[in-house]
Amino acid sequence: MKTIASLLFVFIFSSNALAQLSCSAWPQWNNFKTHFITPEGRVIDLGSDYSITTSEGQSYALFFALLANDKASFDKLLEWTEVHLSEGDLSTRLPAWQWGIKQNQGQILDSNPASDSDLWIAYTLSQAAILWNERRYAVLSSVLAERIIREETAQIPNLGLTLLPGPTGFEKDSSWKLNPSYAPLFIFAQFAHLYPHSPWQTLHDNSAQLLIDTAPKGVSPDWVNYSVEKGFYHDKSTPATGSYNAIRVYLWASMMAEDAPYKNALTEQFKPFVDSIVSSGKVPLETNAVTGKTAGNAPSGFVAALLPLLAEDNASQTVTALQQQIMMDTRFTTSRYYDSVLYLFGNSALNKRFSIDKNGALTTNWSNECR
């Protein structure tokens, strides 16, 4: 059995260790690269049919490369994304959501873009432009941001300007299918700051209200429907379950600055969920946005993603216990793509590898302390 000492790379707490971490390499990122990213810059969902790559995976890896000050990997990831998901030009085509190896040939499997991935790519490019002083990133970010507003939002009655999960397939018979986890408020805030003559501030405020309104019991759903007649509602095809998507809602909320607009409102909204975890000592696999009930045991990635939010609640004993749980199950960091992504987000947020201010601007520890 692996000892706790041999697994201390997972989470580091002491002030001395954090000080050393702030200017050190990021071993968890190097591990992720080794197991999930090809030398050409393609992120692979291991074990999936067709060995798929998603625009989501590419977008998150770009963000992690920036946190690690790994510009070489960043440029490879960006080039692969542009060539294979955007037919060679990100400025003229939002990236396809899914690519894979089918009949021994790499090809786009689903050409519909995913707005959350597009947001993360545009946001990371905007911050890379500042941190690495690369104007071409800034230009590409601004073009992507404009396309997102034009192609992936809709004016929905009573909701106003709203982010759609993608350009097509999410509106039917005056009803819209929406995903709360697609809306990190700090990205909207940063774009409102960078592009003040675009409607990003409106999208920010409307999205914040959507996050609150769709979690009446303190837990967010993976998906939700909306119509003027019914308001927000769930049906058989879009149940009230919150799991693999909703986990990111709490993660994005925990990454917001303490003085960011809606930070307190979201913290208060999700307090019942936090309290239930502190009380039980367990992170559930599923929640129900209508009843508030929970079920199942979450994988390690879920646990890692929730640690920053629990730490904000000063639930130190719960955080420590859950960290020890993760320490006993590190195999996922070499085989499970999505858990590994959540782990990298949770790890970097908890250990203050970066911070995001109230306007959504990113500061990394290497840019702030390591020069």
User: Catalytic residue positions?
Assistant: 56, 116
64's CB contacts (< 8 A; 6+ apart) are: 29, 32, 344, 348
Maximum separation of any 2 CA atoms in the chain, in Å: 58
- In the chain, the DSSP E strands lie at 53-54, 98-102, 105-110, 153-156, 160-163, 171-172, 175-178, 224-227, 231-233, 241-242, 286-288, 294-295, 354-356, 362-364
Q: Classify residue 293 as exposed, middle or buried by CB count within 10 Å of its CB (0-12, 13-18, 19+).
A: middle
d(CA 195, CA 177): 27
SS3 87: coil
186's CB contacts (< 8 A; 6+ apart) are: 252, 255, 256, 257, 260, 356, 360
SS3 137: helix
d(CA 213, CA 217): 10
What single-letter amino acid sits at 140? L
- Residue 1: count other Cβ atoms within 10 Å of its Cβ: 5
